[in-house]
Structure 1
Amino acid sequence: MTEADTAAETAVGFTERYGRAPVGVWSAPGRVNLIGEHTDYNDGFVFPFAIDQRACVALGARDDRVIRVSSTFAPEVVEVHLDELSPESLEGWSAYPLGVAWALGQFGAELASVAGVDLHISSTVPVGAGLSSSAAIECSVALALDEHWGIGLDRPTLAKVGRLAENRVVGAPTGILDQSASLLSHADAAVFLDCRSLDAEVIPLGLVADGLSILVIDSNVTHAHATGGYAARRASCEAGASALGVDSLRDVRVDDLPRAAAVLDDETFRRVRHIVTENQRVLDTVRILREQGAGAIGALLDASHVSMRDDFEITVPEIDLAVSTAQANGAIGARMTGGGFGGSAIALVIDALVPVIEREVRAAFAEQGYRAPTTFVVRPSEGARRDA
């Protein structure tokens, strides 16, 4: 299904749910993080790109103060009055779109003076695969409401809106990586983002010209960032920064690690070491891309995976197997992508080797008795936009 087909089907779904045509359809992509994992909430550097799977939202105007939201992935229509929007009143899947409406009010939107809307959402971004299906929904809704309500926020601010919804309403302690990628990306390029200053630079990847593809290997081990390990890793990073006397781990350099090893317990040190070395890997990736092209960054992708596996301990056996199998069968580089504890790996691959690596990964999973993975190529794509 093409992106245009997805937008058209979302409009049709809106009409079927609400009995009238929408006033517009907006979409936003999921993302792959090429490198820079868990660095975002440590004020560090990240390097994601938008993918060609998107969430779409069709919007219709109302003349009262009610928001209704429906979707293709849940049977119910959720309804809430604008005056009753709060983090405490929202739950389940609808917390993502309705949380954005609430968060807009925290960034200057006069929600007391706007009329309600009906929303219908669909998405082709795989859920639980580490490709940020949640940010795709948040950013499509943020762009739609910002335009419809005439708020006029710029895209970096809309990324903050999405992050606030994720943090305060959904309860996932994520950084701003996902929303920034979804809103700021361009085709065949990645976004080099400084998560402290929020300065962003779009860096061409040149994958098409170099005959390279990004292969996603979805382990089909799902994760949830609102619980468990993600929050624990963030807490470890904050504890490490506090013990080292810095505002965030962004302020720790690679040559500071010997001092950190003397100050911190072993586990906290390993968490810190991942963040510090991962920040440097992002900087090195951007430099090498500019100097030599994407075919030269494989060793950095491989090293990132080792760091996530051994120091940050966020991979799972299925992801490790996907990475090692891709590497053994000719991938230029491979690593887990996303927050971890399941989700997906990515492999940078010469186009002709894509079917070989797909076949070998499936065989390796079957041999270990794992659930069959889902594999597909993603193309770095445009960010959020109005489609109709």
Structure 2
Amino acid sequence: MARFFTFVLLLQLSLTPFFLKAETPEEKWQDCEQITKIALEKLTPIVEKNNYENLESVLNTIQSTCGENEFTQRLRILRTLIEKKTSGALIADYLAKNYQEILVMRWDYSAEKEYKRIYQNNKADFNFIPLNHPIDSLVKLKAEALLNSTSFVLTEQEREIALLFADHLDEFYQTFEETPAQQPATSPKERQHHGYKDRTGFSLYAGAEFPITGSDPLFKTNPTFGFYVSSKLSSLFLFEVGAKVRVNSNDRSFDYLLYDEVEHVNSSISFSLGGNIGAKAFDNDKFLIYPKVGLYWESTSTGLSEVTSYYDDGYYYDDYNNGSTSTVKYHNVNTMRTTLGISVMRHLAKKNYIGLEAAYHYIPYNWDDNLITSIQPNYASLQLFFRF
């Protein structure tokens, strides 16, 4: 009886293409999606039970409508590995067609929080196999078992492809680079990072800023922190927009004029908003070097503030009168910060990088007319950063 139902399903898969009318490319893709959906229902138990008797029939049914793709070849290779058959030709064909790029991107997008939306908007790009489908989990599980089992003696080429199927991408590309005969024209690292480098990134900075002129500068060496939204790394020009904070823990007090009275104040923090633009000078996928220039609005705290109240129509009423709108006004030293620097980044994994930035900053504090004490404007900084 089980064989009968298997025969009926295979017959359904085989005949479905002839009953689906595909007059346009859109209709053809609709046919492919339906065929793949039916096939996946059959393929999942096949892979789960390692019963590959009917595997080729189901894969051929997919190919009759959708054509050969990464998924069909992946399952063929998995079968040969599990059944301990010769797999060299299949693996070479898989790599020659750059199917590894497609699978790397599939593993990448499967890890995204919005993977369901990503799949819905790009079904054809994923061969109509939903991201994080059970078939993917099974392939990873089987590949992991092949790598760790003492019952299987894998060749270098077979171990390489098993690492890819198991989503051990760093190990896969390490072994891939060490196999010159399989080295394609483009760098494997470049292919691995292509999707990651097309993503917007976020960067966290931490370091120190120190004066480079003046015998007794008001602001000495102080810690700095920053958070930036960064543009994709695949472009020649790189952009960063964000905020930078300098904690003024190592400074002297200074004089500030407030309403014709001289206040002796001390700053606890300097806050900057702005961004940088850079151009890549070197990029080999492992290391990336780019000089940058930046412009920021900067505000240095004085500790001076006042609460004022206004009528709703905007006229001044009283500092503490009921029914008015209250606001807090801060009297800070406001100026512009310009930056000239260079960053060096090293790739860690996926879209994660660690880097070092050295920069010069010109901060003309005395542009603020209320500042009485002269503050030297020339500073340098050294910061570590993590891009993710």
Greater RCO, CA 8 A, separation 6+:
1
TM-score by length of 2: 0.23
Q: Larger strand proportion, structure 1 or 2?
A: 2
TM-score by length of 1: 0.23
Q: Larger helix proportion, structure 1 or 2?
A: 1
Structure number, greater radius of gyration: 2
